Amino acid sequence: GAVVSQHPSWVICKSGTSVKIECRSLDFQATTMFWYRQFPKQSLMLMATSNEGSKATYEQGVEKDKFLINHASLTLSTLTVTSAHPEDSSFYICSARGLMGTEQFFGPGTRLTVL
């Protein structure tokens, strides 16, 4: 199957700083990428959907100014958590889908800890 990578796999930062997480589709062109957040022992919650070259669509309750998403190319989407706070600590997962595909391929996730 198609491979999606995320970088970094884990990050620790101080409160008030910004953190960027990268999501790459390694062997296919991803026209759509999704960003999810997973709390401990809970399900994945969709944060936003991004299409290459256009603005992301955010789910209700997700602050678009806090979680900046950029999908500048067909193989790369980034999520920037701005002015991070301890409550932003979570596991962030991306997935990617190709132009004609129906299946989403998931990255391994990034664990963010904000001190």
Q: Which residues bind other proteins (CB under 8 A)?
A: 1, 4, 6, 32, 34, 41-46, 49, 57, 93, 95, 97, 102-104, 106-109
Nearer to other proteins, 4 or 84 (CB): 4
Assess contact for 64 and 9: CB atoms under 8 A: no
Assess contact for 72 and 62: CB atoms under 8 A: no
Nearer to other proteins, 82 or 111 (CB): 111
Q: Min. distance of Cβ 33 from other proteins in angstroms?
A: 11
Cα–Cα distance, 43 to 69 (Å, whole number): 21
* Residue 88, helix vs strand vs coil: helix
Q: Min. distance of Cβ 94 from other proteins in angstroms?
A: 9
Cα–Cα distance, 80 to 92 (Å, whole number): 11
Nearer to other proteins, 38 or 80 (CB): 38
* Residue 87, helix vs strand vs coil: helix
Q: Min. distance of Cβ 36 from other proteins in angstroms?
A: 8
Q: Min. distance of Cβ 43 from other proteins in angstroms?
A: 4
The residue written with tokens 């997973």 in the block is: 38
